[in-house]
Amino acid sequence: MTRLERRARGGWLLAIGVLLPALLGVERPPGLSDVVEVRTWSYEDYTRVVLELDEDRSLAAPSLVRLPADSTADRPERLYLDVPDVWVGRRFESGIDVEDGLLEGVRLGQNTLSTTRLVLDLARYEHHRVFTLPAPARIVVDVYGDRGVRRDPSGRLPAELRRVHTVVVDPGHGGRDPGALGVGGLREKDVNLGIARALATQLRARGFDVVLTREDDRALSLEERSAIAESAGGDVFVSIHANASRRQGARGIEVYTLDANHERHSLDVAARENGVPAARLDALQRALARIQADQVGSHSARLASLVHEQVIHGARSRDASLPDLGVKKGPFYVLFMSSMSAVLVETGFVTNRHDAKLLGSERYQALLAERIAMGVDRYRAQIETGLAAGGLR
Ligand SMILES: [Zn+2]
């Protein structure tokens, strides 16, 4: 699968964007955000457009309007959305060419003095999803469609009709983002990376292709994590994290699947892992509720349950008193951003002295990695048994 990333022309256009309104005599109203960048990524079955703003604003969930082709104006079918309180001026007036078979291109313009309009000129279209991301504020539009290869309406073969070859392993946090900080200076990002590396080794030994979103101590945006996952053509996505709590007694392992439904506790964990206050998860939850039925579902739940079963079993062979916090649902951006069966493992609490001691040891990290790999292996076996039984038509 090819990964095409186009960065909108930045520096000098930004300068013109600031100067041009003055030259044209257009007053730029005060208090507006600026557009920093428009990026597009082309994947096998969808194209992602990301509009990034210069401030970390809380964006309302935008709604897209679909317009039919207009032959008199020589316009193709298109989608547009209006973003209030944003100034773009005429920076992107000539548009950004995409021409990947799904999108002709992207245009941005000042629709009113305080509203920016984003227009996607479509080549083909089946459906889309749109959601917002915080810190920095971004609007993400994924346009799905048929580039000419036969596909199901969700844009790729449903999980039960795919073999399980490639696993994307995602060690949470990294670089300037240490994740949770724990007992004895234990940093979540280091625990995550240790387990993820061991997991890669374990999975390769079982015949999987493995791609790590990071192999060292570096910061990655959510978009970069999902771009790596999608570009690798992953079938399964496993995100590795460690938990934290103000209650030092809190310990144990929990496994998450993506879901707009959640318990209070899940929302706290999701907020911490997403790096946003719980109140800011609203837009994601609304987006999730809309797309949930067919896109995230039974396969991720099955994967989570198999991984959970194995991990608890293994961890308790080291510490029989380890609490099993179960399989839970929550709105996790990192799981939402990719289109594959996805699971997030909270491997223990770095803030608990028993868990921290285990998580800091290479031997325990290797044990957890082995058990996660066994869970993924069982998932593969179940999927492929289903295929052999005639699931593939
Ligand atoms: Zn984390």
User: Tens digit of pLDDT for each residue in 189-211?
Assistant: 999 999 999 999 999 999 999 99
Mean pLDDT score across all residues of the chain: 87
* 95 and 166, same domain (yes or no): no
* pLDDT of res. 391: 54
For the chain, the distance separating the N- and C-terminal CA atoms, rounded to the nearest angstrom, is 23
Mean pLDDT of the 150-163 span: 53
327 DSSP β-pair partners? 255
Q: How far is the CA of 179 from the centre of ligand 1 (A)?
A: 5
Q: What is the pLDDT averaged over residues 51-60?
A: 88
151 occurs within a structural domain: no
pLDDT at residue 344 is higher than 60: yes
Strand partners, 35: 53
| Per-residue model confidence as pLDDT tens digits over 237-257 | 999 999 999 999 999 999 999
Give the Å distance between the CA of 280 and the centre of ligand 1: 17
Q: In the chain, how many domains are there?
A: 2
CA 320 to ligand 1 center in whole angstroms:
25
Residues 207 and 241 in one domain: yes
The answer to the question of residue 285 being in a domain is yes
Q: Which residues contact 358 (CB under 8 A, 6 or more apart)?
A: 315, 318, 319, 348, 364
The Cα-based distances of 323 to 211, 316, 329 in angstroms read 31, 9, 18
Asked which of 144, 171, 189 is the last residue of a domain, the reply is 144
- The Å distance, Cα 100 to ligand 1 centre, comes to 35
- State the residue range of the domain holding 91: 4-144
Q: Which helix (H) or strand (E) holds 193?
A: helix 188-205
Residue 262 in this model has a pLDDT that exceeds 90: no
Cα of 189 from ligand 1 centre, angstroms: 7
- Clarify whether residues 135 and 271 are in a common domain: no
Are residue 218 and residue 304 in the same domain, yes or no? yes
Nearest-angstrom CA–CA distance, 21 and 321: 66
Q: Is residue 117 domain-resident?
A: yes
CA of 210 to the centre of ligand 1 (A): 21
- Band (4; pLDDT cuts 50, 70, 90): very low
- Cβ-proximal residues to 111 (8 Å cutoff; 6+ apart), any chain: 82, 117
The answer to whether position 104 is within a domain reads yes
For 18-50, write each residue's pLDDT tens digit. 455 555 556 788 999 999 999 999 988 899 999
**Cα 154-140-239 angle, rounded to 5 deg:** 75
Distance 390 CA to ligand 1 centre (A): 39
CA of 337 to the centre of ligand 1 (A): 16
Residue listed under structure tokens 């900080």: 181
Query: How many angstroms is it from 114 CA to the middle of ligand 1?
Result: 37
Whether 257 is covered by a domain: the verdict is yes
Indicate whether 129 pLDDT > 50.
yes
Q: Is residue 149 part of a domain?
A: no
Q: ∠ CA 318-323-328 to the nearest 5 degrees?
A: 120
Say yes or no: 220 and 360 in one domain. yes
Same-domain pairing of 266 and 127: no
Residues 175 and 254 in one domain: yes
**Same domain, yes or no: 132 and 168:** no
Ligand 1 geometric centre to CA of 296 (Å): 21
Q: Is the pLDDT of residue 389 over 90?
A: no
Is the domain of 182 the same as that of 36? no
Burial string for 321-349 (b: 16+ CB within 10 Å, else e) reads ebbbbebbbbbbbbbbbbbbbbbbbbbbb
Give the predicted TM-score (pTM) of the model. Answer: 0.84
The average pLDDT across 209-215 equals 98
Domain boundary among 119, 144, 169: 144
Of 8, 299, 322, nearest to 154 (Cα)? Answer: 299
The answer on 212 and 86 residing in a single domain is: no
Alpha carbon of residue 250 to chain centroid: 28
pLDDT value, residue 10: 40
Cα angle vertex 3, ends 103, 222, to 5°?
95
> Are 183 and 86 in the same domain?
no
Q: From the CA of 172, how far away is ligand 1's center (Å)?
A: 5
Q: What angle do CA 85, 49, 45 make, to 5 degrees?
A: 155
**Does residue 131 form part of some domain?**
yes
Distance 347 CA to ligand 1 centre (A): 10
How high is the pLDDT of residue 297? 65
Residue 289 Cα to ligand 1 midpoint, Å, equals: 24
Strand 253-258 to 341-349 pairing: antiparallel
CATH code for position 104:
2.60.40.3500
pLDDT class of 156 with cuts at 50, 70, 90: low
Q: Is residue 309 part of a domain?
A: yes
φ and ψ of 386, to 5 deg? -60, -40
pLDDT (0 to 100) of residue 148: 59
With bands split at pLDDT 50, 70 and 90, how would you rate the model's confidence at 352?
A: very high
CATH number of domain containing 318: 3.40.630.40
Span of 58-62, 87-91, 123-127 with lowest mean pLDDT? 58-62
Q: How far is the CA of 180 from the centre of ligand 1 (A)?
A: 6
What the block records as the tokens of 275 is 């790096």
Do 111 and 186 share a domain, yes or no? no
pLDDT in tens, 277-289: 887 787 788 777 7
CA of 171 to the centre of ligand 1 (A): 9
181 Cα to the center of ligand 1, angstroms: 10
Ligand 1 centroid–CA 345 distance in Å is 9
> What's the pLDDT at 143?
94
| End position of a domain, from candidates 99, 121, 144 | 144
- Residue 11 above 70 pLDDT? no
Instruction: Give the distance (Å) from ligand 1 centre to CA of residue 182.
Output: 12
